[in-house]
Structure 1
Amino acid sequence: MNYKIFVLFFITFYALSVSAQEITGNVYDEKTNEPIPFVNIWFKGTNQGTISDMNGDFKLPLVKKDTLCFSSVGYFQKEIKIENGTKMPISVSLIENVKELGEVQVKPEISRAKELFEQILNHKNENKENIKRVNEYKILETKTVYVAVDTFSKIIRSLGNLDDVTIESDNQKLRFSPVYLSEQARIISNDSVNVVYSKKDGIFPRLNQTIESMIVDKVVVDLDFYKDQIYIMDRGFISPLNNSALLHYNLYLDDSIMIDNNQYYHFSFAPKNKYDPFFTGHFTIEDGSFALTAIDVYINLKANLNFVNGFKGQVSYKKLPDGNWFYNSQNIGVNLSLTSNKDSASNYSSKRIDNIEKGNWLINKYIQYSASEGLNGIKAREWKQRPEFAFDSSLANAYSRVDKIKEHEVVKGIDKIGGMVLTSYFNKGIIDIGPVYDLYSTNTIEGERIAIPIRTSEKMFRYFSIGGFVGYGTRNREFKYGTNLVYQPQTMDKFILRFNYSNDYNLVSQEKFLRFIKYNPNSKGTGNFISLFTSREENPYLKEEESFEIRIEYNALNGNHLEVSPYLLSSTNTQAVRFIRNNTEYEHYKNYGVLMDLRFAFGQPYDKFYFDRIYYIGNIPVVHMSFDIGQTLLPGQKIKNAGLYAQFHGSVQGRLTRGQVFMNYMLNGGYLMGDAPYDLLDQPVGSMSLGYSKDRFNLLHFASFAHNLYTNAHLYVNGGGVLLNRAPLVRKLKLYEIVSFKGHIGELNNSYQPVFDLPSYYSNESNKPYAEIGFGITNIFKVLRIEYVRQLTNTYVGSGFADKGGIRFRAEMSF
């Protein structure tokens, strides 16, 4: 994920979601006036309810039932009628049941809790299957992102009438401005999902889909507590119903209640280590079926997570006529901020989401389920007016506020900068400037190279773009140039046609398959901006190349992708890159062929930016299978006398998550055979800088190995604080331990017939594996990673093409 956008949003705008009408209040002891925690609160005749927190405070959505019940061990049960006009918050006093105090054990019944929890686990698979058996139902989902803004800010005042662009709050200094709004209606039928209504808008047109896919969908996910893990913010949170939950959570049986002659047990839970990213909260189960009827979860402030000032998740279930339980609603809210709010440091987890300061984002997703036949024949856009679903009427006005805000010049500027960070293009009306990595680079031939890359934007042509670049080297005082065309023949991006031409200097080691797995790759060889400005040498291994290429792309609905690319290349030697064969030096040569790539994305979500689909690394692996076939022509050589070459290449990348620990992986391998120039060989290289590279090596120099049979591995493990959370002083810094591994195995065998002699700066004397291992910490000031990298063995220490070890830096952010 490109978290630079995340920082940009935080610096400028944050969000607050609008919620439906709620009942809030406080429960206290009538005699001592002390707050009573863990009071069971529910609407009479239902199992819809909540529990009071450590301060006795509670909050729950208002439903049609108007009588609220309060029950706690050691107190008399109390009922309160909620009428229209009742002022919030309400205060509720409970009277101590003196007679029962001598009979009831007030402290948690740990042994009884364990016995009941074993029954929950024994029935877990059955209850999960009962939910899956409901295969005909409807969903109404709303997502909102609001920002808390200071009404005295000059920028906010410049937006005009605050009533037109913001929503008032109880705090006179704060109002709430919409950033992103979405509503969707879906019909689920026999595992098929049919979206029958959808509406979305946001104040950043270029970034709306990124806000949804990289922020909203990562922090407000579907909460299925019957699963062992719930993925939130790129972390796996252990469910309190996990088979091993008692290893991670302290579990307490708080109370039992009777509703309509059915008994329900109420549990509370908290992580054993408060610094671990686990849930705290409470849940209710039905006796007999031991099915979940309601669960509320929160995340502790001390948990080792970035930007999360508050998190709440509420899931309620309803009993179907067949006696089984199914979803009623899910309500998920997150309060995000760059730093923890000052007044939230000592508050109970359930309170923190409501402690709002300027700049906070409050993100909300509210999902409602209905199996009612009363919705059949009703237009999906009208579901929100039906009694089966509750809907926030203020959402309609929020869309008009979005229209007004996104026309402000400051907001437009933020949208442009955010779009540049994500896509590497900066918009200037009908022109896009980029990719930004091509603006500046250095190499031995050109010295400092300054380029102007541009293309026409969507504002000029929606389905067509023409662009190019002009680059100038300060050392050789020479211009280089190129042009490109893109055409989408249909409204959907099922087919994309591209044409590229360039006359430029390119790295001999530049991997042609890299663009399939890394979007916006830096073709000039530096892995990141730290590498760009800290490289201790200029890369001399460039050749002058004139390139013609046509790309025909096909995108399937499931995310699979096929590309066929005929190409013609004309390569010219330079001082460091020479083409010698049998003591004869050739100034240039040509090769032509067809490159094909097939991507299997397995339905992985993606974002589309103009003509490009961006797939983000996730728990679903992405597999690429590539094949290149071509022919090399020397000056004066006829086609019939030239041999063919063929190259097979495959890669897989993704993420494995287990609790707070995750591992990113990228594995590739290939085989080149036939008559081919040496620049088609696999050449693992580094940037010779202080910058840590994810997709290349960190200790290798600009030239090392050259193999036709090869495999490479890039692994990165982020511990999420699994060890550092247990260090008394260090854990307050919220650092993450990291381990990385990079390895290469290859050889140059007889299947490869060299068109040119292999230059002496390549080393193939040994076929022993090359490996790097790194240890370090990340999340330093939330943006910096430092890692010590060292060769795993001493095989290539002193070889002249690899460093023994060194410290590397990388700017990165995550939750």
Structure 2
Amino acid sequence: MMQIIKKGFLLAAILAFSGFAHTSFAQATKIRGRIIDSETKEPLPFVNIAFKGTTIGTTSDFDGQYFLETRTPSDLLHISFVGYKEQSFEIQKASFQTINVELKSEAFDLAEIVVTPGENPAHVLLRKIIAKKESNNPSRFDSYQYESYTKMEMDLNNIKDNFKDKKIMRQFQFVFDYIDTSVITGKPYLPVFITESLSDYHFQKKPKVEREIIKASQMSGINDNASLAQFTGQLHQNVNIYDNFIDLFNMGFVSPIADGGLRYYKYYLTDSAYRDGNWCYHVSFKPKRKQEPTFVGDFWVADTTFAIENMQMRIAKDVNLNWVKDLVSNNEYQKLNDSTWFLKKQNLFVDFMISEKDSTKQMGFFGRKSISYKNVKINQPLREEIIKLDNNVVVEETALKQPKEYWDNARPYQLSQREAGIYSMVDSIQNVPLYKNIIDVIQTFVTGYYVKGKFEYGPYYKLYSFNEIEGNRFMFGGRTSNDFSTKIMLNGHLAYGDKDNKLKYGLGFLYMINKLPRETFGVQYKHDIQQLGKSPNAFTEGNILSSLLKRNPNNKLTMVNQLETHYEKEWFQGFSNTLKFRYRDITPTEYVPFNAPDASGNIPISGITSSELELRTRFTKNEKIVMGEFERIHFGGPFPVFNLYLTMGMKDVLGADHDYQKIDLSIEHTLELPPLGNLYYLVTAGKLFGKVPYPLLHMHEGNETYAFDPYAFNMMNYYEFASDQYVSLFVEHHFNGLILNRIPLFRKLKWRTVISGKGLIGSLSDKNNGSLANTDAKMLFPNGLSDVSKPYFEASVGIENIFKFIRIDAMWRLNHLEDNPYQDFENFGIRAMFQFTF
């Protein structure tokens, strides 16, 4: 885990913009500036800017601004605009320069012009583009294959001279030789992470097959990590401008050529010319309204086929998007034959801002990625050996060991001497003591563990907590680090409560048999308190936050002796099985009693012993994952996640008292529904066969804290409902600013609305219903626990993105409102949580 955050910070940012690209040219000729009228000083849009004698050029935007970047410029920059005198400027090659221009108007004697009402010619052109979208969309092909070169880079930006001179930076002076300037923003930047990969990509529509074979991969500061090479491959979740909505940072941006584009954009036909032998039209566009997820930019479209030849898009300045100051993308297409176009290059530049306070002075990060496509083959059958590959992304054995000569031949362009030195510079940063200290602090804060040599101490948030059973609880724990081993991780903890005066402890290990595909084996034993009926997302026992944010006395804890072993096998990407054996010995407390029914009275039970064999099957497709040496983080994907649990309780195994079987199924997914936002749903169902005491029933997930738990019933208490068969549904819709963006005051706050609803219905067979004096049940329910044959519902309306991190929900319990002397529940409540969203 010690490396997953160091890599995860970089990879999470990479993941955020992995669908696009931007080419990084450290030694390119870079020119930016602004063009205005010399008399009125008003900005001039649609001005033609080009290197004289070449087809390399651009046009000024609606604010008169422009930027150009190329490795093959001419000696002169030529600027022309109808009604104004042309100008040319000498340029300095292989450097950054700003050229602001004031154009002088030119008088012409013109014949009389009669203007009659008519349709905007750009609208006519857009309708033809939309009519031809199906025949131009790359997704129409039954199959395609190509070779791709991908380069990604993270840069620290807005570096000022006074920053270089600070005492803290004395150990880093060598890096400032590599500072460059962004042609898009004009900000200076310093590369801090860089990666390249060369891949063969294969796609087939029916049956759907996606395979990427990474032939070469290299990353600064990271050596021989196949899992990272797999992640930083092309990913092929690339944005398609022919889709009506473009997914960026979990927000559906309206494509400039969407079917309903006229509802969102204003279009202007500004030019026409031959480009690479094709007669093309130039169209500029900008949003009609503020703060909608739209772009400003331009595109060239070929006549007759009406296929996009090049499109440059920049997000609108006022889009309700966190952490992103600017984003510019460029998609360039190549003509394969008279009627077929395919991607040639994809470029993206993202300016991540850390603070909104005067972004021209605050440091932030650039994210840049470039993809070049060549050797494109359309509608050719995939080879059988490609289809039979286990994983969607495969790293060849030699991929991480390719020599410099290989890369020199593989790149679509030659690196300059300065570019080639960036790898060495970034690697050198890793060895600076100050850098290591900064990384240690970040890792400790995010992971909860402080890494020192071969051991990780923590988690820090469990060092102290308190509850009614233990009083003040003190805990010390940790696990081995990657310096100890990348094959086996040992862990353990000791805890003590000053009220019960009892020592608790845990010990275990995880052994990594194979990383890709994942195969692990582990054993874990603990003698400690546990909260039954808690969701997997809730605060763990001993977390100081669960003590501070409790809304009821934290006394429904039970002492558990638990031994768990597991074997996990991933058969191919997205499909895995986990086999577990779990032994548990649960003892009662005065707050959670164990009593057996009897005609003459209740008989106390000293404890419950169970032995279970559980088989979990998990299935999904094309999900995004960040992997460390032992752990991995799932970011979801375009398809639902299915989890099936089959559990068998085995009587007489290690003294177990109960024989039963359980089946549980869950389906979880987030649906992107632009422009309405996104909808998350979780459906769960389960059934238990057999006769068991109530702790072995399904104890429905309550929440007795003021923290919002998306996987629990937040208005339900622990030990309130239990079932031996049940169905539940969680639904949550995030509007992503769709509503509040239209209210002037809230528009500035950039708050977003979210609504949710949760429902549950379950039942108990007579043999498992201990809520009455049922002598057939194995155990009586504690006071307040009952079945949920009458459905339970709760709903909420919330505001998220408060200060970018906070979500607050107003929640209502819609039924089961009868007074219950044993359950102190609320009909209405406020819940809050921290969350990171773009």
The TM-score bracket by the shorter chain reads: 0.7 to 0.9
Cα distance in 1 for residues equivalent to 2:338 and 2:513 = 52
Tell me what 1:814 maps to. 837
SS in 1 for 2:723: coil
SS in 2 for 1:744: strand
Summarize the Cα distance change of 1:130–1:505 in structure 2 as closer, same or farther, 3 Å threshold: closer
Cα deviation, residue 597, structure 1: 0.8
Identity percentage of aligned residues: 26
Summarize the Cα distance change of 1:8–1:269 in structure 2 as closer, same or farther, 3 Å threshold: closer
Summarize the Cα distance change of 1:333–1:77 in structure 2 as closer, same or farther, 3 Å threshold: same
Partner letter of residue 269 of structure 1? F
Cα distance in 2 for residues equivalent to 1:569 and 1:657 = 41
2:465 and 2:473 in contact (8 A); partners too: yes
Post-superposition CA distance 1:624-653 (Å, at most 9, x none): 111110135699xx88xx652111111122
Partner letter of residue 429 of structure 1? G
Partner letter of residue 760 of structure 2? H
Partner letter of residue 128 of structure 2? Q
1:25 and 1:89 in contact (8 A); partners too: yes
1:501 and 1:547 in contact (8 A); partners too: yes
1:803 aligns with 2:816: no
Partner letter of residue 604 of structure 1? E
Q: Summarize the alignment of residues 486-565 of structure 1 with structure 2, pairs less than 5 Å apart.
A: 486-490=510-514, 492=516, 494-510=518-534, 514=536, 522-524=539-541, 531-565=546-580
Tell me what 1:366 maps to. 370
1:531 and 1:687 in contact (8 A); partners too: no
Give TM-score, length-normalised by structure 2: 0.83
1:595 aligns with 2:607: no
2:696 pairs, out of 660, 680, 703, with: 680
Tell me what 2:795 maps to. 773
Cα deviation, residue 85, structure 1: 7.8
Cα distance in 2 for residues equivalent to 1:240 and 1:89 = 29
Tell me what 2:384 maps to. none
1:168 aligns with 2:186: no
Tell me what 2:486 maps to. 462
Cα deviation, residue 16, structure 1: 13
Partner letter of residue 177 of structure 1? L
Q: Report which stretch shifted further, 95-104 or 239-248.
A: 95-104
Post-superposition CA distance 1:651-682 (Å, at most 9, x none): 12231122351223332221112022211222
1:783 aligns with 2:805: yes
Summarize the Cα distance change of 1:40–1:122 in structure 2 as closer, same or farther, 3 Å threshold: farther
SS in 1 for 2:171: coil
Post-superposition CA distance 1:711-734 (Å, at most 9, x none): 223332221111111111221111
1:607 aligns with 2:607: no
Summarize the Cα distance change of 1:701–1:387 in structure 2 as closer, same or farther, 3 Å threshold: closer
Cα distance in 2 for residues equivalent to 1:7 and 1:402 = 13
SS in 1 for 2:241: coil
Q: Report which stretch shifted further, 688-697 or 250-259.
A: 250-259
Cα distance in 2 for residues equivalent to 1:170 and 1:809 = 42
Tell me what 1:334 maps to. 350
1:21 pairs, out of 19, 26, 29, with: 29
Summarize the Cα distance change of 1:380–1:323 in structure 2 as closer, same or farther, 3 Å threshold: farther
Post-superposition CA distance 1:740-786 (Å, at most 9, x none): 22222211125758763232424436522111111121111112112
2:351 and 2:364 in contact (8 A); partners too: yes
1:37 aligns with 2:45: yes
Cα distance in 1 for residues equivalent to 2:799 and 2:230 = 28
SS in 2 for 1:462: coil
Partner letter of residue 528 of structure 2? D
Tell me what 1:756 maps to. 778
Q: Summarize the alignment of residues 389-788 of structure 1 with structure 2, pairs less than 5 Å apart.
A: 389=413, 391=415, 394-436=418-460, 438-490=462-514, 492=516, 494-510=518-534, 514=536, 522-524=539-541, 531-581=546-596, 582=598, 583-632=602-651, 644-659=659-674, 661-750=677-766, 752=768, 756-764=778-786, 767-788=789-810
Post-superposition CA distance 1:382-415 (Å, at most 9, x none): 4555784465654422222222222233422332
Summarize the Cα distance change of 1:789–1:610 in structure 2 as closer, same or farther, 3 Å threshold: same
1:324 pairs, out of 332, 335, 340, with: 340
Cα distance in 2 for residues equivalent to 1:561 and 1:160 = 47
2:52 and 2:78 in contact (8 A); partners too: yes
Tell me what 2:324 maps to. 308
Q: Summarize the alignment of residues 35-114 of structure 1 with structure 2, pairs less than 5 Å apart.
A: 35-41=43-49, 49-62=57-70, 64=72, 66=74, 72-74=81-83, 88-90=97-99, 93=103, 96=106, 98-99=108-109, 103=113, 111-114=120-123
SS in 2 for 1:488: strand
Post-superposition CA distance 1:426-460 (Å, at most 9, x none): 32221112345543443321123221121111111
Post-superposition CA distance 1:677-730 (Å, at most 9, x none): 211222224333322112112211222101111122333222111111111122
Partner letter of residue 368 of structure 1? S
Cα distance in 1 for residues equivalent to 2:300 and 2:820 = 65
Cα deviation, residue 491, structure 1: 6.1
Partner letter of residue 521 of structure 2? L
1:185 and 1:380 in contact (8 A); partners too: no
2:793 and 2:813 in contact (8 A); partners too: yes
Summarize the Cα distance change of 1:104–1:282 in structure 2 as closer, same or farther, 3 Å threshold: farther
Cα deviation, residue 736, structure 1: 0.8
Cα distance in 2 for residues equivalent to 1:243 and 1:174 = 36
Cα distance in 1 for residues equivalent to 2:710 and 2:472 = 25
Cα distance in 2 for residues equivalent to 1:2 and 1:157 = 23
Summarize the Cα distance change of 1:316–1:140 in structure 2 as closer, same or farther, 3 Å threshold: same
2:699 and 2:721 in contact (8 A); partners too: yes
Post-superposition CA distance 1:484-535 (Å, at most 9, x none): 0221234656321101111112123246xx3xxx5xx633297xx7554121
SS in 2 for 1:342: coil
2:473 and 2:542 in contact (8 A); partners too: no
Cα deviation, residue 39, structure 1: 2.2
Cα distance in 1 for residues equivalent to 2:643 and 2:89 = 62
Cα deviation, residue 790, structure 1: 0.8
Partner letter of residue 524 of structure 1? E
Summarize the Cα distance change of 1:433–1:210 in structure 2 as closer, same or farther, 3 Å threshold: farther
Tell me what 1:346 maps to. none
Post-superposition CA distance 1:19-70 (Å, at most 9, x none): 5433445545577775421124456887654221234332223254748665
Partner letter of residue 488 of structure 2? F
Cα distance in 1 for residues equivalent to 2:143 and 2:110 = 43
Cα distance in 2 for residues equivalent to 1:568 and 1:16 = 55
1:525 and 1:687 in contact (8 A); partners too: no
2:331 and 2:347 in contact (8 A); partners too: yes
Summarize the Cα distance change of 1:418–1:797 in structure 2 as closer, same or farther, 3 Å threshold: farther
1:135 and 1:189 in contact (8 A); partners too: yes
2:793 and 2:814 in contact (8 A); partners too: yes
Cα deviation, residue 567, structure 1: 2.0
Cα deviation, residue 136, structure 1: 3.9
Q: Report which stretch shifted further, 805-814 or 42-51.
A: 42-51
Summarize the Cα distance change of 1:486–1:9 in structure 2 as closer, same or farther, 3 Å threshold: closer
| Number of equivalent positions | 776
SS in 2 for 1:126: helix
1:158 aligns with 2:169: yes
Post-superposition CA distance 1:317-374 (Å, at most 9, x none): 233354532222121011111333637xxxxxxxxxxxx544121111111222389x
1:468 and 1:481 in contact (8 A); partners too: yes
Cα deviation, residue 89, structure 1: 3.8
Summarize the Cα distance change of 1:261–1:510 in structure 2 as closer, same or farther, 3 Å threshold: closer
Summarize the Cα distance change of 1:8–1:472 in structure 2 as closer, same or farther, 3 Å threshold: farther
Cα deviation, residue 564, structure 1: 0.5
Give the CA RMSD over aligned residues: 4.1
Partner letter of residue 304 of structure 1? N
Cα deviation, residue 308, structure 1: 1.4
Cα distance in 1 for residues equivalent to 2:124 and 2:746 = 38
